[in-house]
Amino acid sequence: MKTLVLVEHDNVHLKDATLATVTAAAKLGEVHLLVAGKGCRAVADAAAKIAGVGKVYLADDAAYEHQMAENVAPLVVGLMDSHDAFLAPATTTGKNVAPRVAALLDVMQVSDIVSVEGERTFTRPIYAGNAIATVESTDAKLVITVRGTTFDKAASEGGSASIEDVSGPGDSGLSSFVSLAAEESERPELTSAKVIVSGGRALKDAATFEQLIVPLADKLGAAVGASRAAVDAGYVPNDYQVGQTGKIVAPQVYIAIGISGAIQHLAGMKDSKVIVAINKDEDAPIFQVADIGLVGDLFQIVPELTSKL
C-alpha cells in the first residue's frame, strides 16, 4: 500500500505531530509525504530526513501558504491517483483538510485513530473516549486522521528521501486568509510536552492562575494547560484547553490542579502515563484516575510545592 501523509508545518518548521503520523502510515506500507506551503523548502528538507520516508512531494505556491482546505484538498486528491491511503495528523489543520479530501474521493474518513490493527482495520475512541471502536473500512481508498499521542514518533533523522516538486490546481478563489493571532509562548508545546501543569476553575482568576500555575510549570519545564471552566472564565486563552473539545494530550506526567475531572476533560488527558491531582474535594472524580493524589487547599499546596522543587 502506498500512503500519503500531510506534513504539519508553519512554512519554517516541521511539527512533531507529523512524526507520529509517519509511524502510523509505515504500518500500512510505503510512506510518502506532502509538504504544501509557501517558501517551505526547509520543511521539505527536514521531511526528507525522517526515517522510513520514501519520497517527499513539495507543493510550494502562494495558494498553499496558510493551508486553506479549499486549496489543499484538490492538490491531495490529485496525488491520490497514485496512492492508496491519505493520512493527516488529527490537528486542527488535519481535521480541516482530511474530510474535504475524503468527500471528494467519495470515501468515509476514519477519524482520530489510536491503533492500526490491519490494512483496513483501526481503533478509534468514541463518546469522549468512553468507548473504543474497532472499525474496518470497505472503501477503495483510505482517508485517516491520526491521534498523535498514541503513536511513537518516527526518528527525525536517518532518512534520505528524494524531494519532488508538484503543483496542484492552486487558488480555488473561494476563501482567503485574513490574520492569525498566535499565542506567544516560550514553554513547550502542549501536545508534545513531557510534563503538563493544568489548572481549573478553582484558581479563581487570571492573576492567581499566573501566580500559582506558571512558576510551578517553569520549575518543571512543563507546558501549561487548563480545563474548559478556566478558559471560559478567562483565566487563560482557549488554546490552553485540554479535553474532548480542546487538545488531546498524553504526557509522562499530568498535574491537574483545582480540576474536578469532568468526562470531557478526562477525554483529553486520561492517556497520560502518570496523573497527579491536587484538589480540596476528596470525592472529586479526578481522584478516580489519578495515580498520585493530594487532598488539600491548592493555595497553600502549590506555592509550597513550587518552593520545594
Integer-rounded Cα radius of gyration of the chain:
21
- The stretch among 57-65, 157-165, 207-215, 292-300 that binds other proteins (CB under 8 A) is 292-300
Half-sphere exposure of 145 (CA within 13 A, CB side): 21
Grid-cell match 520549575, residue found: 219
Instruction: Report the distance separating Cα 64 and Cα 170, nearest Å.
Output: 8
Residue 182 near other proteins by CB under 8 A:
yes
- The stretch among 20-28, 30-38, 160-168, 285-293 that binds other proteins (CB under 8 A) is 285-293
Q: What is the residue-wise DSSP string for 253-276? A: EEEEES----HHHHHHHTT-SEEE
**Interface with other proteins in residues 265-284 (CB under 8 A):** 270, 274-276, 282
Q: Which of 42, 51, 79, 128 binds other proteins (CB under 8 A)?
A: 128
Residue 167 near other proteins by CB under 8 A:
no
**Cell for 154?**
518516527
Q: Which of 104, 155, 214, 250 binds other proteins (CB under 8 A)?
A: 104
Q: Which of 42, 103, 166, 233 binds other proteins (CB under 8 A)?
A: 103
User: Which positions ≥6 away from 282 have C-beta within 8 Å?
Assistant: 295
Residue 131 near other proteins by CB under 8 A:
yes
Residue 301 near other proteins by CB under 8 A:
yes
Residue 249 near other proteins by CB under 8 A:
no
Whether 203 and 230 have beta carbons less than 8 Å apart is answered as yes
Grid-cell match 478553582, residue found: 202
**Cell for 115?**
491503533
Closest CB to other proteins among residues 158, 234: 234
Q: Which of 24, 247, 249, 256 binds other proteins (CB under 8 A)?
A: 247
Whether 124 and 114 have beta carbons less than 8 Å apart is answered as yes
Residue 95 near other proteins by CB under 8 A:
yes
Residue 102 near other proteins by CB under 8 A:
yes
